[in-house]
Amino acid sequence: MSSHITPFSGLRDVAATRPARTRRSPLRSTGFNSFLLLLALLAAWEFGVRFFEVPKFLLPPFSDVAIAMVQGLATGPLARDGFWFHSAITLVEILLGFFVGSAIGLLLGIVISEVEFLEVLLRPYIAALQSLPKVAVAPIIVMWMGFGIGSKVAIVSMLTFFPVLVTSIAGFRAIDLDRIDLLRSLSATRWQIFVKAKFPSALPYIFAGLDMAAAFSVVGAVVGEFIGAQAGLGVLILQMDARLDTGGSFAVFVILSLIGVALTGALRLVRRRVLGWMPAEEAHKTVSA
């Protein structure tokens, strides 16, 4: 308030405090604090387990998990007891299933929204299928398609298909009709109306569906591998649990969640490129919707 009365020293003071503030900031950043929290939790885990002498097959100390992780990663890409081989299989299942499932979901969503007759015809069936827990169908799919990668890709596709289908239909339905009239008033073709108005309008919804699909795809791959597979992180977990190698299982959990984080992160990058025009709060609203 009184800064205009003592301009010179005031200016110098501002300049002098600035470096001090930047020096303090890394210690106060949320990232650094979450890292501290992680260290504290890991330490509590390690010493808690040792202090209370919890059996290792129930809850291994953190150091066992770390050792299992290092051993698992210190293997060749084709080693059947290593993490790389099984991670690659699971990742391929997730990615293939995600792309196939969401592509079919999006295409069908477009077709259903463009052909009113189809929407009316299929609406009850989509609603019915949507309420079915898709995981329940997974054993039959393994029975039909065998223990190879194919059945897992099918299960992941099935899980990713529905959220993308449902959100894209919702997105095409939510479009501001004036946008279509604007293009119609210019004698636009149906294709032009779709490309220039409908599809971009529905994109925030479609991305919300892809977000859900990404989370489901990891679930789908692991469940499929639990039911019946020759390789993959789900199989590895089953083998380790049978050997009471709980530390190994925990290491695999870490890898699975890293895959999930990488998937959502990649999706977020694409979204930022495609939906950069949206204000951040709005983008968040559509995701939670």
Question: Which residues would be at the binding site for other proteins (CB under 8 A)?
Answer: 176, 178-179, 181-188, 192, 196-197, 200, 275, 277-279
Which CB sits closer to other proteins, 200 or 260? 200
Q: Which residues contact 282 (CB under 8 A, 6 or more apart)?
A: 204
232: left (phi over 0), alpha (psi -120 to 50) or beta: left
Whether 99 contacts 156, CB under 8 Å:
no
Rounded least distance, CB 277 to other proteins, Å: 4
Cα 237 to Cα 233: distance, rounded to the nearest angstrom:
6
Q: Which is nearer to other proteins, 117 or 277 (CB)?
A: 277
Of 234, 219, 227, 204, the closest CA to residue 158 belongs to: 219
Side chain identity at residue 266, one-letter code: A
Cβ at position 287, least distance to other proteins in Å: 17
Can you tell me the distance from the alpha carbon of 29 to that of 45, in angstroms, rounded to the nearest whole number? 25
User: Would you say 33 or 192 has its CB closer to other proteins?
Assistant: 192
Q: Which amino acid is at 280?
A: A
38 or 186: whose CB is closer to other proteins? 186
Cβ(159)–Cβ(102) below 8 Å: no
Output the smallest distance, CB 185 to other proteins, in A. Answer: 4
In the bound state with other proteins, the residue whose beta carbon lies nearer, of 201 and 239, is 201
Shortest separation between residue 205's beta carbon and other proteins, angstroms: 14
Task: Round to whole Å and give the CA distance between 277 and 31.
Answer: 27
Q: How far is the CB of 209 from other proteins (least distance, A)?
A: 18
Q: How far is the CB of 187 from other proteins (least distance, A)?
A: 5
Determine the Cα–Cα distance for residues 174 and 170; give it in Å rounded to an integer: 6
Among residues 133 and 279, whose Cβ is nearest to other proteins? 279
Give the separation between CA 213 and CA 273, rounded to whole angstroms: 19
- DSSP code at position 258: H
